[in-house]
Amino acid sequence: MSATVFLPYLFSLFLLLLLLPLTLARGLGSEHSDKSVRHRTVQILHAYSPTSPLRPPSAAPASWEDSVLQVQSKDQARLLYLSSLVAGKSVVPVAYGRQIIQTPTYVVRVKVGTPPQTLLMALDTSNDAAWLPCSGCTGCAPVLFASAKSSTFRGLPCQAAQCTQVPNPTCLGSSCGFNLTYGSSTMAAALSQDTVALASDAVPSYTFGCIQKATGNSLPPQGLLGLGRGPLSFLSQTQNLYQSTFSYCLPSFRSLNFSGSLRLGPIAQPKNIKFTSLLRNPRRSSLYYTNLIGIRVGRRVVNIPGSALAFNPTTGAGTIFDSGTVFTRLVEPAYNAVRDEIRRRMGNATVSSLGGFDTCYAVPIVVPTITFMFQGMNMTLAQDNFLIHSTATSITCLAVAAAPDNVNSVLNVIATFQQQNHRILFDVPGSRLGVSRELCT
């Protein structure tokens, strides 16, 4: 494959093909005598993989650098969006010179309705509700859910209990609707229910938003499945089946032999996995906060002021794991400490920048590992998880960046480039998050 053919693939990321066979493993310690508790493995796809139907025609950038810039501009919008969640107010991100498609990058096949219609819905660990474009929608992408063709579809009335769980509920006639800002988009949706199935478990009367009007281009084209912790999330609505427990493994961006999986339920989760506590922020209950206490570059713990990492529910400060940001962002004092240590080790070698990355070298970067030290768990990243190579220019960059400094930037985000080839386990009842190295490819 020639370089020009290969390059777009590098950053467009990939179709995650193969399911990993379920490994036999113990459950997570809660009771599973209840036969209704399931374990299922679902294939995860990358939205912009070469074979993804969601891939926009313009998603084939001319060069590696372009790809980096593109991914980063999307990330920037995502960061602003997450910051706005944390701040508890809606800040609409502005474009950074390029058109921004602020879409979580990983999607799963979801069957909706009777008979089932398949949609590729984005996985978003930082949101709760599910919503999808319905027929009749103005401003939505072309693939729509035809609610009239489903015998099990129904709209929810204003009196429905779920109507109090959506943001900004409105009553149109007697039906419950809501308006939502997502990234730079807005939408108006009717709160609805239908049968929804991931894997082979059909969940009757699943509550979601049926989008009727959308503006902007931030919405995942075939909808979004919220994997947060709030009342309307997938976890809450499948509590009986999967006990609010799931894990995923995202493959290396560089692999052409992709596979990725979303594993639902406590039973078949890995045995050898280290845990750190999940922290709850009542102001933003859906986000998966963890307690990052330090960062090691190689064997040296770099000097980061405690305040840069401390969890603070009032300001929203702290560290989250997110499935919709590609490159990890650290608040400036933390980022600077990591960057300075890498530059120190590189001695006289000439440092350059590329896109939003400011620590790039034309010679190999000699740092073997970076470790995120969480309370109770060290997550050690091999070079594939923190260095990014340009095959075109032979430049290698530190694939981590400082948080955008123009808004409430108090949030550290552990992003998907750093999570790839790890299984990340979200054990909500146990209030813990686990990480283990696993080849997803």
For helices 3-12 and 64-87, angle between their N-to-C axes, nearest 10 degrees: 10
The residue from 98, 109, 111, 213 that contacts ligand NAG (CB under 6 A) is 213
Taking CA 294 as the corner, what is the angle to CA 289 and CA 296, rounded to the nearest 5 degrees?
A: 130
Q: Which of 378, 391, 406, 431 binds ligand NAG (CB under 6 A)?
A: 378
Q: Candidates 51-59, 261-269, 321-329, 374-382 — which segment interacts with ligand NAG by CB under 6 A?
A: 374-382
CA dist 138 → 147, 220, 441 (Å): 15, 15, 39
| Residue closer to ligand NAG (CB basis): 53 or 376 | 376
The residue within the footprint of ligand NAG, chosen from 30, 43, 63, 170 (CB under 6 A), is: 170
Running DSSP on this structure, what letter comes out for residue 174? Answer: T
Q: Of 225, 232, 317, 377, which lies in the binding site for ligand NAG, with binding defined by CB under 6 A?
A: 377
Cβ partners under 8 Å of residue 159, min gap 6: none
Where are the extended beta strands (E) located within 11-116?
40-46, 106-112
Catalytic residue (choose from 75, 128, 194, 322): 322
Given a contact cutoff of 8 angstroms between Cβ atoms, the answer to whether 231 and 207 are in contact is no
Give the residue carrying structure tokens 């398949």.
118
Measured distance CA(93)–CA(125) in Å, rounded: 20
Binding of ligand NAG by 179 (CB under 6 A): yes
User: Binding segment for ligand NAG among 56-64, 69-77, 335-343, 376-384 (CB under 6 A)?
Assistant: 376-384
Does position 373 bind ligand NAG by CB under 6 A? yes
Q: Which of residues 379-418 bind ligand NAG (CB under 6 A)?
A: none
Output 365 or 377, the one with its CB closest to ligand NAG. Answer: 377
Q: How many residues bind ligand NAG (CB under 6 A)?
A: 12
For residue 246, list its beta bridge partners. Answer: 264, 426
Q: Per-residue string for binding with ligand NAG, 330-349, x by CB under 6 A?
A: -----------------xx-
- Residue pair 384/441 in contact (Cβ under 8 Å)? The answer is no
Q: Which residues are marked as active site? A: 124, 322
Q: Contact residues for ligand NAG (CB under 6 A)?
A: 168, 170, 179, 188, 213, 257, 347-348, 373, 376-378
